[in-house]
A = this chain, B = another copy of it.
Amino acid sequence: MRTVAVTRIGSLRDPDESARGQVGVVDFPDQPLGDEDVRIRVAYAAICGSDPHLAEGFFGTDVPIGLGHEISGVIEALGEKAHRTGLQVGDRVAGNFLRFCGTCLPCREGKQQFCEHIQDYNRPGMAETITWHESQVYKLPDTVSLLEGCLLEPTSVAVRIVDKTNIKVGDRVAICGGGPIGQLALQVIKMHGATSLTLIEPIAERREMALRHGAEHVIDPVGEDQYTRADEITDGRGYDIVIDASGSPRAVRGLLDIAAKGATVIYGAMYPAEFEMPLNLSDYLYLKELTLTGVFVSPYAFPRALQVLPHLELAELTQSVFDLADATEAFAMHMSGRFAKVVIRCNDIADSAASTSAVAGGAE
């Protein structure tokens, strides 16, 4: 089965081509269909910001490493006992690349994000088919196209980020970082009560994209003084909620200063493994009583992500589409930063959905 995979470990940005990481299409064995499993013919698989980290060997160095965990597709087979949720062959679906075991202590405490067997069904989805446990699979709403549906997983992350903010309607919100998670978090928190909603992002195109989809203000942290701007926007009070979706050590440093007293600050990205942010306990935790927390993965959020998905504007996140055979070019486009999101079409599947937001374009 053709599968997109890392075929050589290395940075995808390495200027030395001989040392650069490589992504290509490889033949992988078919994934077995267990009794409680569901086989999905993959329609689309989106490239995630974490995929290049796999190329760098972050989670292991034995190539080939199959890629792809943001997928949509159509069910082509069901295991004998995969009948708990009423799924049928032909259903348009998306899902969670993680299966929660339900048996380990964290699962039984209601903390599936810490499931001790979380990787058991984590399989590459940039492939002709993927086979998941039934509990990982969700039927898409009729109004969500297969192309949009491959964004269910990053949307679930945005939903979990918003959940952890404990936002109340009317709270002032700033988001740092205008990549895919930042843009999705912005749209999700816009529909969940944010006011004075501000994106902080150095790239002009991403700021403009945010303004088209709900941001009331944008700040260029390079060209502007973000403290002064934040002060103006919030009448000197600061933001009640600050979300970092940048993962950037430079960007996160100033965020505690634009947070209001008593604010919640969510670290919603991956950070360099060795990076230590200096945290002044007296200023930020004692005097300002800030709450700092983060998000790893997104259990419990998928059912609501499915409810949210039809309310999002996803055309700009799905306009760059490549065929599976062109995966190498797709990753090159991803690295160029030209599009917030690049999608791989794994199979050409007719879509019955009322696809309202897909936009022609990209490298097609």
Where the two chains meet, the residues of A that have a C-beta atom closer than 8 Å to any C-beta of B are 36, 84-85, 100-111, 113-114, 116-117, 133-135, 159, 162-163, 168-172, 188-189, 191-193, 195-196, 237, 252, 261-262, 267, 269-296, 299-300, 302-308, 311
| Contact residue among B106, B191, B282 (Cβ-Cβ distance under 8 Å from A193) | B191
CB within 8 Å for A191 and B162 given contacts A102-B135, A262-B113, A294-B285: no
CB within 8 Å for A195 and B290 given contacts A114-B262, A302-B108: no
B289 touches A106 (CB 8 A): no
A253 to chain B, nearest CB (A): 11
Contacts A192-B193, A195-B307 known; list 13 others, CB within 8 Å.
A84-B101, A101-B102, A102-B102, A109-B300, A159-B169, A169-B192, A271-B285, A276-B278, A276-B281, A279-B279, A285-B293, A291-B291, A291-B293
CB within 8 Å for A294 and B290 given contacts A85-B103, A103-B84, A191-B191: yes
A148 to chain B, nearest CB (A): 16
B272 touches A282 (CB 8 A): yes
CB within 8 Å for A108 and B303 given contacts A275-B282, A293-B291: yes
A262 touches B300 (CB 8 A): no
**Dominant SS among interface residues on chain A:** mixed
A281 touches B285 (CB 8 A): no
Q: CA–CA, A133 to B279, complex, Å?
A: 37
Q: CA–CA, A106 to B110, complex, Å?
A: 12
Using CB atoms, name the residue of chain B closest to A237. Answer: B105
B278 touches A113 (CB 8 A): no
A267 touches B285 (CB 8 A): yes
A217 to chain B, nearest CB (A): 13
- CB pairs A–B below 8 angstroms (12 shown): A100-B102, A101-B102, A108-B300, A113-B262, A162-B169, A170-B303, A172-B307, A276-B279, A277-B279, A279-B292, A290-B293, A291-B293
A159 touches B170 (CB 8 A): yes
A123 to chain B, nearest CB (A): 18
Q: CA–CA, A271 to B286, complex, Å?
A: 8
Tell me which residues across on chain B come within 8 A of A280, comparing CB atoms.
271, 274-277
Using CB atoms, name the residue of chain B closest to A112. Answer: B110
A308 touches B195 (CB 8 A): yes
Tell me which residues across on chain B come within 8 A of A107, comparing CB atoms.
102, 135
A351 to chain B, nearest CB (A): 21
Most buried by B among A188, A274, A306, A307: A307
Tell me which residues across on chain B come within 8 A of A169, comparing CB atoms.
159, 162-163, 188-189, 191-192, 304, 308
Tell me which residues across on chain B come within 8 A of A293, comparing CB atoms.
285, 289-292
A52 to chain B, nearest CB (A): 16
A58 to chain B, nearest CB (A): 11
CB within 8 Å for A170 and B307 given contacts A109-B300, A135-B108: yes
Using CB atoms, name the residue of chain B closest to A188. Answer: B169
